[in-house]
Amino acid sequence: MAQVVLEDIYKSFPPRKSEGVIYQGAHRNESVNVLRRISLTVEDGEFMVLVGPSGCGKSTLLRLIAGLEDVTGGNIWVGNRAVNQLQPSQRNIAMVFQNYALYPHMSVYENIAFGLRLQAGRIQREEEKERGREGEMGRGGEGEMGRGGDGEKLLNQFLNKSLKIAEDLLVASAKKLPKGLRYVSDKERIVNERVVNVAKLLQIEKLLNRYPKELSGGQRQRVALGRAIARNPQVFLMDEPLSNLDAKLRSQTRAEIVRLQRQLGITTIYVTHDRTEAMTMGDRVAVLNRGQIMQIAAPLEIYNRPANRFVAEFIGSPPMNFIEVKFQSPCLITKGDFRLTLPENWSSALKKYNGRTLILGVRPENWNLSLPATKNLPAQVEWTENLGNDSYLAVKLIETKFEKDYLVTDDLQVRVSPEKLVNEGEKVWLSLNPEKIHFFDPETELAIFPKSNSPSLPFENS
Ligand SMILES: Nc1ncnc2c1ncn2[C@@H]1O[C@H](COP(=O)(O)OP(=O)(O)O)[C@@H](O)[C@H]1O
Ligand SMILES: [Mg+2]
C-alpha cells in the first residue's frame, strides 16, 4: 500500500498529421495540451474518485500513473519511489478498464492465475523471506545466516536451483495426468491459494471453470476485478469500470467495489464521469475539467461548497440553477420586481459587487412553491416530471420588469414534493431558502463564500 503523489503534471500529445480536427483551439500541426498543473496527493489506503466530463483527460491521467504514457512535465511518486522512469510492470499498480479484456480461450481460473504466475516467483521469494524471519524469531534470534559460512550458503543456493529444475520437469511431465495425481509445485500452490481467496472474496468460486463467453457482463467485470486484486498491487487504478453494466448491476457492483476497497485498504484512484459514483464511492473527489483540477474535497463538501460554477453545475442532478441578479450593499439582490434581503453574513464578501451583476446559484431542491410576494420569483411551468418519490418542474422565470409584455427568461429546474399537483402552463411563485444559496463571480465564475462559512481551499496546493 502506498501514497500516490502527483506534482505539477503536464501532458501534451504531439500533433497527429492525418487529422484535421481542431481541439480546444489547437490546429493540426500544434500539439494537444491535455493536462495542466495537476497536483494531487492520494493518501495511503484512500479511495479517490476522479470525475469530469468526457474528454477532460481522466484516462490520460490514469495512464500516466500506470506508466502507459510518459509525462510531459512533473513528477509521480508511488510510496517513496519516483516512478516517472519505471516501466508499468515495475510500478506495482493494477489497472481495471472499462473494457475488461479477459482472455477468451482461458477459464476464469486461468484468467486470474495468468498474471499471477508471472509474479509468483516474487511472491515465493517473499514468502520464503517471511518464513525465514518467523524461523529466526522462533529460534530466539539465532539467524539462519548466522549458522553457516559462505560455503554453506552457496551449497544451499545450488541445491535450491537443482530442486527448482527438477520440480519444473515434474510439473511438465505430470500435466497430462488427472488433476488429483498431478504434482503441484510451490509456485502453483501459491497461485492456487491466491485465486481461491480472491474468488471467495468476490463470490465467484462457482465460476472458476467457466469461460468468459459463459459469463454475464457483471460476472466478467468481477473476474476482471479479481485479476487485479489477486496481484495484490500497491495501487488500484480503475477507469470507468462499471459503464458497461446495466443500472441495477452498476449500483450493486458500486457497493461491492467500495466494500472491497475498505476491506483491502489498497490506495485506489477511480475514474468516472458519473456523478452518482462520484458522490457515493470516494473518500474524496477530484473534479477535473479541460485538463485541470477544479476542486478536491470530500463529496458533501463538493456538493455544499462548490469552488466554482463548473463544479456547482457538474455535481448534482438535475444541476444547480444559475440566475443573473443585481446586488446592492449591504445585502439586497434584485431581478425585475424581485427583491430579497440576504442573511447579514454575506455583506462583507459581496461588498465589492455593489451595483453590479452576480450569479445566484440555487439547487433544484432548495426552491419552494410559495405565494405571490416580491421576495419570491414568478415562473411559468413548462413541463412536469413525476418520478413517484420526487417531482421535477422545468420552469421559465417571468420578469415583470416590462409591465405589459411578459419577458420569459431563465430556465430553471425545481424539485417539489410529488403530492403537490402542478399543471403545465401554470404560473407559480418560487421562494428560496436564503441559507442554501450560492454566489459566483460573473467573470471568474469562482464561488463567493459568506463570512461565517469560509471555505476550505479549493485547490490542494495553493
Ligand atoms: N494518444 C493521443 N493523442 C492525441 N490526443 C489524445 C491522445 N489520447 C487522448 N487524447 C486527447 O486527450 C483528451 C483527453 O482524453 P482522455 O484522457 O481519454 O479523456 P477522458 O478519459 O476524460 O474522457 C481528448 O481530447 C483526447 O482526444
Ligand atoms: Mg476515459
pLDDT at position 232 is 86
Order of strands, edge to edge, in the sheet holding 427-432? 367-370, 427-432, 377-386, 391-399, 407-416
* Higher pLDDT pick, 21 / 12: 12
Would 327 be classed as within a structural domain? yes
Structure confidence by residue, pLDDT tens digits, 286-312: 999 999 999 999 999 999 999 999 999
Return the ∠ at Cα 76 (arms to 124 and 462), rounded to 5°: 140
Of the candidate ranges 53-62, 110-119, 210-219, 389-398, the one whose mean pLDDT is the lowest: 110-119
Same domain for 339 and 261:
no
**Percent of the chain at pLDDT exceeding 70:** 81
Q: Is 32 in the pocket of ligand 1 (CB under 6 A)?
A: yes
Statement: residue 10 has pLDDT above 60: yes
Nearest alpha carbon to residue 360 among 291, 266, 431, 437: 437
Residue 244 — very low, low, confident or very high, per pLDDT cuts 50/70/90? confident
Same domain for 448 and 322:
yes
Q: What CA–CA distance (Å, rounded) separates 328 from 333?
A: 6
Statement: residue 271 has pLDDT above 60: yes
Cell of 387: 418520478
Number of domains in the chain: 2
User: What average pLDDT does this structure show over 425-448?
Assistant: 94
The mean of the pLDDT values for the chain is 85
Structure confidence by residue, pLDDT tens digits, 132-157: 655 544 433 333 333 445 676 777 77
Nearest alpha carbon to residue 200 among 263, 273, 266: 263
Statement: residue 110 has pLDDT above 90: yes
Q: What is the DSSP string of 170-212?
A: HHHHHTTS-GGGS---HHHHHHHHHHHHHHHHTT-GGGTTS-G
Which of 295, 327, 344 lies at the terminal end of a domain, its last residue? Answer: 295
Structure confidence by residue, pLDDT tens digits, 69-97: 999 999 999 998 999 999 998 899 999 88
Same domain for 447 and 323:
yes
Would 122 be classed as within a structural domain? no
Statement: residue 404 has pLDDT above 50: no
Statement: residue 405 has pLDDT above 60: no
Same domain for 333 and 279:
no
Q: Which residues surround ligand 2, an ion (CB under 5 A)?
A: 59
pLDDT at position 185 is 77
3-state secondary structure at position 450: coil
Same domain for 333 and 268:
no
Q: Is 97 in the pocket of ligand 1 (CB under 6 A)?
A: no
Same domain for 421 and 376:
yes
Would 205 be classed as within a structural domain? no
Same domain for 417 and 329:
yes
Q: Is 60 in the pocket of ligand 1 (CB under 6 A)?
A: yes
Would 421 be classed as within a structural domain? yes
Would 104 be classed as within a structural domain? no
Same domain for 291 and 322:
no
**Residue written as cell 491466491?**
194
Same domain for 264 and 378:
no
Residue with the smallest CA separation from ligand 1 atom 1 is 13
* Higher pLDDT pick, 263 / 101: 263
Would 203 be classed as within a structural domain? no
Q: Is 394 in the pocket of ligand 1 (CB under 6 A)?
A: no
User: What average pLDDT does this structure show over 7-27?
Assistant: 71
pLDDT at position 120 is 67
How far is ligand 1, taken at its centre, from the CA of residue 63, in Å? 11
In this structure, what DSSP letter does residue 373 have? -
User: What average pLDDT does this structure show over 309-324?
Assistant: 94
Q: Identify the H or E element spanning 76.
A: strand 73-78
How far is ligand 2, taken at its centre, from the CA of residue 243, in Å? 11
Statement: residue 238 has pLDDT above 90: yes
User: What average pLDDT does this structure show over 403-426?
Assistant: 77
pLDDT at position 178 is 67
Q: Is 458 in the pocket of ligand 1 (CB under 6 A)?
A: no
Would 240 be classed as within a structural domain? yes
CATH (domain of 391): 2.40.50.140
* Containing structural domain, residue 273: 4-15+24-92+233-295
Q: Identify the H or E element spanning 285.
A: strand 284-289
Structure confidence by residue, pLDDT tens digits, 21-58: 555 555 556 788 999 999 999 999 999 999 999 999 99
Same domain for 290 and 335:
no
CATH (domain of 284): 3.40.50.300
116: region left, alpha or beta (phi > 0 left; psi from -120 to 50 alpha): alpha
Q: What CA–CA distance (Å, rounded) separates 290 from 285?
A: 16
Structure confidence by residue, pLDDT tens digits, 169-199: 766 676 666 666 666 677 888 889 989 988 9
How much of the chain is helix, strand and coil, in % rounded to 5?
Answer: 35, 30, 35
Would 83 be classed as within a structural domain? yes
For the chain, the distance separating the N- and C-terminal CA atoms, rounded to the nearest angstrom, is 27
* Higher pLDDT pick, 462 / 172: 172
Same domain for 322 and 260:
no
pLDDT at position 138 is 40
* Higher pLDDT pick, 240 / 167: 240
Q: Is 114 in the pocket of ligand 1 (CB under 6 A)?
A: no
User: What average pLDDT does this structure show over 447-458?
Assistant: 70
pLDDT at position 248 is 83
Same domain for 30 and 79:
yes
Nearest atom in ligand 1 to the alpha carbon of residue 54 is 23
By the 8 A CB rule, do 84 and 75 touch? yes
